[in-house]
């Protein structure tokens, strides 16, 4: 904490609240503008502080504290794509009703005792890091669930699906697996159903062939 030379605070207050300029806070820093709820509902933790001094992340910063909820609603007078008819821009070009931008460093949403829910007509996650370093990381200590009418995963490079234990691939009607013009490898343990099928097709527990040849062997195609 930095030591600062403070000006005498000036403000107005009543039983319910106060507005103070150049207020010295409990942490020794100065708030240029300090709005405080003095009522019992504030519980001493309901305020907005525009910091004048402090470390680089705090000086010129704004701190809001609310023992109750914090709610914002905006955009009532902004036309959406659906309201503009033929003149409507693409949904991605809509004027945002609420916009948050972290010019440097991170943007953190933290709910240690609840959920983080994003509800919209469409949800987009875009990572645009330099030199192909824009990664999207999903991490969970429980299950990772995805449910949709149709799921597509497309990679311009390779793709890896790995599990330390069992992997189940279940198709209600048809299961198609294609290997292109490259080689398709299948290495299975003994005494499995698939190893018996592969033994008939390839005569070996390890099948090494092209995707086209594999299809011909399975379906009895010639040529």
Give the strand order in the sheet containing 17-24: 10-13, 17-24, 30-37, 47-51, 62-65
Give me the long-range contacts of 49-53 (CB less than 8 A, separation at least 24): 49/25, 52/22, 53/2, 53/4, 53/29
Three-state DSSP class for residue 131: helix
What's the pLDDT score for residue 182?
Answer: 64
What's the pLDDT score for residue 205?
Answer: 43
Whether residue 33 contacts residue 22, with contact meaning beta carbons closer than 8 Å, is answered with: no
Residues of the chain with pLDDT under 70: 1-7, 81-93, 181-223
Query: For 37, which DSSP code?
Result: E
What's the pLDDT score for residue 110?
Answer: 96
What's the pLDDT score for residue 112?
Answer: 96
What's the pLDDT score for residue 60?
Answer: 94
What's the pLDDT score for residue 209?
Answer: 53
pLDDT tens-digit series, residues 1-39? 454 555 677 888 888 999 999 999 988 999 999 999 988
- C-alpha–C-alpha distance, residues 214 and 207, integer Å: 9
| Region for 197 from its dihedrals, namely left if φ exceeds 0, alpha if ψ lies in -120 to 50, beta otherwise | alpha
Please report which helix (H) or strand (E) contains residue 210, including its range: strand 206-210
What are the residue ranges spanned by the domains of the chain?
10-65, 178-223
What's the pLDDT score for residue 65?
Answer: 93
Pairing of strands 17-24, 10-13: antiparallel
What's the pLDDT score for residue 202?
Answer: 53
pTM value is 0.68
- C-alpha–C-alpha distance, residues 21 and 113, integer Å: 35
């Amino acid at each position: 904490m930095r030591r600062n030379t403070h000006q005498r605070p000036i403000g107005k207050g009543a039983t319910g609240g106060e507005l103070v300029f150049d207020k010295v806070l409990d942490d020794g820093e100065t708030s240029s503008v300090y709005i405080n709820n003095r009522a019992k509902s504030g519980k001493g933790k309901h305020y907005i502080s525009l910091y004048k001094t402090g470390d680089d992340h705090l000086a010129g910063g704004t701190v809001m504290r609310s023992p109750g909820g914090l709610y914002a609603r905006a955009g009532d007078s902004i036309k959406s794509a659906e309201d503009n008819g033929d003149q409507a821009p693409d949904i991605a070009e809509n004027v945002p009703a609420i916009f948050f931008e972290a010019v440097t460093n991170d943007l953190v949403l933290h709910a240690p005792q609840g959920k983080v829910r994003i509800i919209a007509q469409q949800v987009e996650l875009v990572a645009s890091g330099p030199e192909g370093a824009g990664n999207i990381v999903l991490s969970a200590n429980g299950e990772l669930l995805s449910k949709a009418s149709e799921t597509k995963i497309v990679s311009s490079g390779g793709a890896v699906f790995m599990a330390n234990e069992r992997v189940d691939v279940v198709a209600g009607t048809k299961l198609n697996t294609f290997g292109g013009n490259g080689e398709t490898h299948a290495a299975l343990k003994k005494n499995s159903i698939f190893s018996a099928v592969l033994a008939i097709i390839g005569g070996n527990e390890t099948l090494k062939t092209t995707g086209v040849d594999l299809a011909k062997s399975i379906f009895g195609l010639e040529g």
